Amino acid sequence: MKLSLRDVSLRFGGVRALDSVSFDVEPGTVHAVIGPNGAGKSSCFNAICGVYPVGGSVRLGDRELTGLPPHAIARLGVARAFQNIALGGADTVLDNLMVARHHLTRAGFVSTGLGLRRVRREEDRHRARVTEIAAFTGLDAVLRTPVAELSYGGRKRVEFARALAAEPRVLLLDEPVAGMTHHEKATTVALIRETRAVLGVAVVLVEHDMPLVMGLADRITVLDFGRVIADGPPAHVREHPEVLRAYLGAHS
């Protein structure tokens, strides 16, 4: 399903974090959002997720996301992997992935407390599915390990897997390889490619690693001071004078 942003604006006091940003993300593609520090990349994610109330319109297919609370947006199929790891540290990898199934499952306080058979079946079914996703992301060996005991790269991977476990239509990846070793980076890039190919989801990627973005993205939107300064395929964006100026600080 296509994700479209139209004239999305967000202000913090006098600062314009986003200034009528518009772009479209096609299903089955990786769409990178890049820009210098403070250009509004993370604000963009927060706007899509409904964390901040924004002006303009964010749509998924023909559903309007603007104005919905974050959990309702998640329910419609938008999942996010956080830049600074936001996992439950003491919980196991399995439990962390199971949280992502929240909107696909129904067991409430009462039925869980009573241990109804319906609840146990649901739990088994989703645990099996989560185990598959863990295998897909190479986490099957550590399913029962508390997240806090994993390495940084490992936790980053769980962050990615959790977003995937939500069965998203749109996958938001906020610097998924930041701080990773070279080897871990390569694995994650392969995973993102695989996700695009196998699942056909729309991937929105915020990343600082330029060679990686140029190699991976199908389309790139460049933000600077909250505005879109370029939008297009990597080859096009790479040559764009505004982009060169924003990145290199060259005066035209």
Residues at the site binding another protein, with contacts judged by CB under 8 A? 12, 49-53, 69-71, 73-75, 79-80, 82, 86-91, 95-96, 98-100, 102-105, 107-109, 112-115, 119, 123, 129, 132-133, 135-142, 145, 148-151, 153-154, 157, 162, 166-167, 186-187, 190-191, 194, 198-200
DSSP letter string, 5-61: EEEEEEEETTEEEEEEEEEEE-TT-EEEEE-STTSSHHHHHHHHHTSS--EEEEEET
Question: Which residue number, 57 or 232, has a Cβ lying nearer to another protein?
Answer: 57
Shortest spacing between CB 153 and another protein, in angstroms? 7
7 Cβ contact list (under 8 Å, min separation 6): 20, 21, 22, 55, 56, 57
113 or 233: CB nearest another protein: 113
Residue 131 CA to residue 142 CA, distance in Å, equals 11
Q: Smaller CB distance to another protein: residue 193 or 245? A: 193
Sign of CA dihedral 113, 159, 22, 14: positive
Of the pair 200, 233, the CB lying nearest another protein is at 200
Q: At its nearest, how many Å lie between another protein and the CB of residue 124?
A: 12
Considering the complex, state which of residue 96 and residue 229 has its C-beta at the smaller distance from another protein: 96
- Residue 38 CA to residue 204 CA, distance in Å, equals 18
Q: How many angstroms separate the CA atoms of 208 and 74, rounded?
A: 25
* CA neighbours closer than 13 Å in the CB half-sphere of residue 154: 16
Could you tell me the smallest distance in angstroms from the CB atom of residue 229 to another protein?
A: 26
Closest approach, Cβ 105 to another protein, in A, equals: 6
Residue among 199 and 214 whose Cβ is closer to another protein: 199
> If you ran DSSP here, which 8-state letter would residue 3 be given?
E
Residue showing tokens 């749109």: 170
From the CB of 138, what's the least distance to another protein, in Å? 4
CB of 102: closest distance to another protein in angstroms?
5
